[in-house]
Amino acid sequence: MSDGIFLDARKRLDAALQHVRLSPDTVERLHYPKSVLKVSVPVRMDNGALKIFPGYRVRYDDTRGPAKGGIRYHPNVSPDEVTSLAFWMTFKCAVLNLPFGGGKGGITVNPKALSRTELERLSRGYIDAVADFIGPDIDIPAPDVYTNQMIMGWMMDQYSIIKRRITPAVITGKPLSMGGSLGRETATAKGAYHAIRVMMKRKNRDLKDLRVAIQGFGNAGAELAEMLFNDGCTIVAVSDSRGGIFKQDGLHIPTVRQRKKATQKLEALYADGSVLESQDHDRITNEELLELDVDLLIPAALEGVITEHNAGRIKARTIIEVANGPTTGAAEAILAEKGIDVLPDILANAGGVTVSYFEWVQNRQGMYWTEEEVAQRLEQRMVTETECVLALAEEKGVTLRLAAYIHALHRLEDASASRGTEDYFRRRA
Ligand code: NAD
């Protein structure tokens, strides 16, 4: 993400504010993060040297509840990026009606260059630095890019050591053995799948008639590809960071997954002895994939892939934003002009944070749900909120993204108003 992404994010807020009447206080508040914490995380490297890594935790807004959002480990992590991600979390939690505000954290680091023990010291060091700013009722982190269950387990352990009490609800996305939730791994894909089903039903489109291209074949993309494949969609193309594969009459997704799992490469489909050797795939680039003539285009990898430079060439009828921030503001105007619907990230990928919320609830009640219970509750929330956003877009004649923001703003305003006027009389605002 480049600097200035927060300004782009705020432009979307300003566009939504044209359609909804909010108190000037709420408007003013929503333009700024509540707090931006910068810390220096010292790590004793395996060779004995001390290295310092910059870390951040942003609490964007907590009017609706404690802040919620992941922790990212990446060389490009910057305050601007973390603030934008925390901003999006504020709206994502409000769209899904989760009792959370928005937060996000990160460390500027290339985690692939660290040993496992260095990674553990870094993760524990980060929690040492932010322990007074997070907590089950304050701000609840989770995994994000290049952080995972194992790291969440170390972080929960470190927080519990500092506070001298076992505190599973401080962090979500933990291993099952430490209070994680069943169904978390597939939650983002399942959430997107339910949103797609609701949307296609409204368009009177049968899933069996849909041609789909998916960029990103990781946790979210591959899982969603399989769900759509099982429902009869024709998945014509998938890709990962090394490139993509295309087949006019559809890829056999379970085989693609199996081969990718075995080799870590989609390219392995071309390799000697592959079960698909006889099938004839074409290689395509990630750029070509985005411009395919399909019903659904699903960016499920990176932010900023649909820009003003390629938006004019996009032929998909509908875009489902499984990645966070794949479409820039400038691209969005071009897509709207072409009549391409974009199901926005703050709704399409919200299944993950929804099951994180379920994990937090289970930790606090000490009673754990079955996978079916998790799946059922997730479906109910995704269907309800997607229907609301689609109806609002139709009623107001606005894009789905604007409708999702408006839906979230109503809830944020409601919470703000319910808090009363205490801040008017006291020093705290
Ligand atoms: P992942 O790391 O499991 O998978 C990412 C995939 O993208 C991999 O297949 C990778 O090869 C591919 N990729 C990386 N660079 C690429 C490039 N330049 N071009 C094409 N593909 C590239 O990540 P994930 O958990 O599946 O997340 C994917 C996206 O979904 C991210 O934007 C993430 O923020 C968003 N998201 C994920 C979750 C979740 O719970 N997993 C929740 C909300 C949002």
pLDDT at 7 over 90: no
Please tell me the residue having the least CA distance from ligand 1 atom 28. 301
Distance, in Å, from the CA atom of 390 to the CA atom of 400, rounded to the nearest integer, reads 7
**Positive/negative CA dihedral, 260, 261, 264, 268:** negative
| pLDDT band at 4; cut points 50, 70, 90 | confident
Take residue 126 and report the two structure tokens written for it: 């980060």
Count the residues in the chain.
429
Take residue 331 and report the two structure tokens written for it: 């691209």
Supply the pLDDT for residue 84. Answer: 93
**Catalytic pick among 104, 174, 190, 247:** 104
Supply the pLDDT for residue 263. Answer: 74
Supply the pLDDT for residue 274. Answer: 37
pLDDT digits (tens, 9 = 90+) for 196-213: 999 999 999 999 999 999
349 lines ligand 1 (CB under 6 A): yes
Expressed in angstroms and rounded, the spacing between residue 44 Cα and the centre of ligand 1 is 30
Supply the pLDDT for residue 421. Answer: 65
pTM (predicted TM-score): 0.93
pLDDT at 261 over 90: no
240 lines ligand 1 (CB under 6 A): yes
What is the helix (H) or strand (E) element at residue 299, kind and residue range?
strand 296-299
Q: Which of 173, 40, 48 is nearest to 109 (CA)?
A: 40
Best substitution site from 88, 89, 185, 217 to test ligand 1's pocket, by max atoms within 8 Å of Cβ?
217
- Which residues have C-beta within 8 Å of that of residue 388, sequence separation ≥ 6? 407
| pLDDT band at 273; cut points 50, 70, 90 | very low
pLDDT at 272 over 70: no
Expressed in angstroms and rounded, the spacing between residue 221 Cα and the centre of ligand 1 is 7
Supply the pLDDT for residue 1. Answer: 47
pLDDT digits (tens, 9 = 90+) for 122-139: 999 999 999 999 999 999
Expressed in angstroms and rounded, the spacing between residue 52 Cα and the centre of ligand 1 is 27
265 catalytic per annotation: no
Taken in order of first residue, the domains within the chain and their CATH numbers are 32-178 (3.40.50.10860), 187-348 (3.40.50.720)
Residue 252: C-alpha distances to residues 197, 232, 261, 281 (Å) = 21, 11, 14, 11
